[in-house]
Amino acid sequence: MSNNSDLLLSIRPKIEVFTKKSSINESFQSETLRPILKFQNETLVSIFSFYLKEKKIPFSEQSIEKKDETIHAILKKNMAFKNLTIGLIIGHFTTVELSFYNVNKSEINKRIVELAIKRLSDQKEKIKIA
């Protein structure tokens, strides 16, 4: 493993993983995606807040259900924001993880988006439009 890969792995938060028999994609999600999303949480919340401000979306005035719908719609339908979010995560992959990603890109992208939606939905109160 390269020095860069060692550094990337060293800064990731440790997350308890209870693995039963899981697929290789589920293992990748637990061992790679979840720690990176946790590490990048503050940045994810910030870029989402900036996006809402830029697009003049009145997020703070929305009901809880509407906020969830807004988060889901932006991450699923807005390709620029979706790709930004995916890039925020894959930029923290080691070279080995990047090789795995390139073979399983479609599945991993879906998992990244779903995890980001869940993470933002669970933190609606942190999303502020400055």
Percent of the chain whose predicted confidence (pLDDT) is above 70: 94
Indicate whether 102 belongs to any domain. Answer: yes
Indicate whether 43 belongs to any domain. Answer: yes
3-state secondary structure of 103: helix
Indicate whether 16 belongs to any domain. Answer: no
Q: Is the pLDDT of residue 86 over 70?
A: yes
Tokens of 29: 């999600």
Q: Is the pLDDT of residue 9 over 90?
A: no
The tally of domains found in the chain comes to 1
Give residue 34's domain range: 24-126
Q: pLDDT band for 17, please (50, 70, 90 cuts).
A: low
- Predicted local distance difference test score (pLDDT) of residue 11: 75
Q: pLDDT band for 18, please (50, 70, 90 cuts).
A: low
pTM assigned to the model: 0.88
Indicate whether 33 belongs to any domain. Answer: yes
In degrees to the nearest 10, what's the CA dihedral of 100, 106, 111, 114?
Answer: 160
- Predicted local distance difference test score (pLDDT) of residue 12: 80
Q: Is the pLDDT of residue 84 over 70?
A: yes
For residue 108, give the nearest of 48, 13, 51, 23 by alpha carbon: 23
Q: What is the C-alpha separation between 13 and 30, in angstroms, rounded?
A: 12
Indicate whether 1 belongs to any domain. Answer: no
Q: Is the pLDDT of residue 2 over 70?
A: no
Indicate whether 94 belongs to any domain. Answer: yes
- Decide which of 8 and 121 is more confident: 121
Indicate whether 100 belongs to any domain. Answer: yes
